[in-house]
A and B are shown apart, each in its own frame.
Chain A
Amino acid sequence: MNAMFGPVRSDLFLRTLRFSPVAMNMSLRTLSLALAGLALTGCAKRAAETAPPETTADAMAGPEDIDALEAQLAAREDQLRALGATPPAAGGGGEALAKTEAEDRNAQADADSRAGDKAAKSAERQTPSAAGPVPPSASPTPSAAPAEPSPARCESVCDITTSICQLRDHICDLAPRHTGEPRYQQACERATTDCEFATEACHACS
Chain B
Amino acid sequence: MTRHTWIATLLGAVVGAGVMLAGLAQAGRLAPAPRPEVLVTLAQTVDAEHRRVDVLLKQRDYAGAIAALEQMRTIAWPEPAVAGDAAAVLRHDVYGRLVRLRLDHPDVDPKTPDALAELVGEGLGADYKAIATNAFTARLVGLRGEIAEKQGRDGDALLAYEEALDMNRALLQQALAGAAP
B20-39 contact mask (Cβ, 8 Å, vs A): 1 or 0 = 01101110110111111101
Stretch of A3-11, A79-87, A162-170 at the chain-chain interface: A162-170
Stretch of B71-79, B108-116, B118-126, B133-141 at the chain-chain interface: B133-141
Complex CA gap A52/B34 in Å reads 8
Q: Tell whether B175 is near chain A: CB-to-CB under 8 Å.
A: yes
**B29 near A109: Cβ-Cβ < 8 Å:** no
> Chain A contacts of B22 at CB under 8 A?
35, 38-39, 42
> Chain A contacts of B181 at CB under 8 A?
156, 160
Complex CA gap A145/B17 in Å reads 56
Q: Tell whether A65 is near chain B: CB-to-CB under 8 Å.
A: no
**A194 near B158: Cβ-Cβ < 8 Å:** no
**B173 near A139: Cβ-Cβ < 8 Å:** yes
Q: Tell whether A99 is near chain B: CB-to-CB under 8 Å.
A: yes
How many chain B residues have a CB neighbour from A under 8 Å?
Answer: 68
Q: Tell whether A67 is near chain B: CB-to-CB under 8 Å.
A: no
Complex CA gap A60/B86 in Å reads 18
> Chain B contacts of A25 at CB under 8 A?
7
Complex CA gap A170/B90 in Å reads 25
Q: Tell whether A133 is near chain B: CB-to-CB under 8 Å.
A: no
**B178 near A98: Cβ-Cβ < 8 Å:** no
A60 to chain B, nearest CB (A): 6
**Given A28-B7, A39-B17, A156-B181, 8 other A-B residues pairs in contact with their CB atoms under 8 A:** A35-B18, A38-B21, A39-B25, A101-B43, A147-B176, A157-B176, A166-B142, A201-B172
Task: Please name the 10 residue pairs, one residue from A and one from B, whose CB atoms are nearest each other, closest first.
Answer: A147-B178, A42-B25, A35-B18, A46-B28, A94-B36, A39-B21, A98-B86, A101-B43, A140-B176, A156-B175
Binding site for A on B (CB under 8 A): 3-4, 7, 10-11, 14-15, 17-19, 21-22, 24-26, 28-29, 31-37, 39-40, 43, 46-47, 50, 54, 57, 84, 86, 89-90, 93, 96-97, 100, 104, 134-136, 138-139, 142, 145-146, 149, 154, 157-158, 161-162, 164-165, 168-169, 171-173, 175-178, 180-181
Q: What are 17 A-B contacts with C-beta separation under 8 Å? A: A21-B7, A39-B21, A42-B21, A42-B24, A42-B26, A43-B21, A43-B24, A49-B33, A50-B32, A56-B36, A106-B135, A157-B175, A170-B145, A171-B165, A174-B149, A178-B154, A187-B161
Binding site for B on A (CB under 8 A): 21, 24-25, 28, 31-32, 35-36, 38-39, 41-43, 45-46, 49-53, 56, 59-60, 93-95, 97-99, 101-106, 108-109, 112-113, 116, 135, 137-140, 142, 145-148, 153, 156-157, 159-161, 163-164, 166-168, 170-171, 174, 177-178, 183-184, 187, 190-191, 194, 198, 201
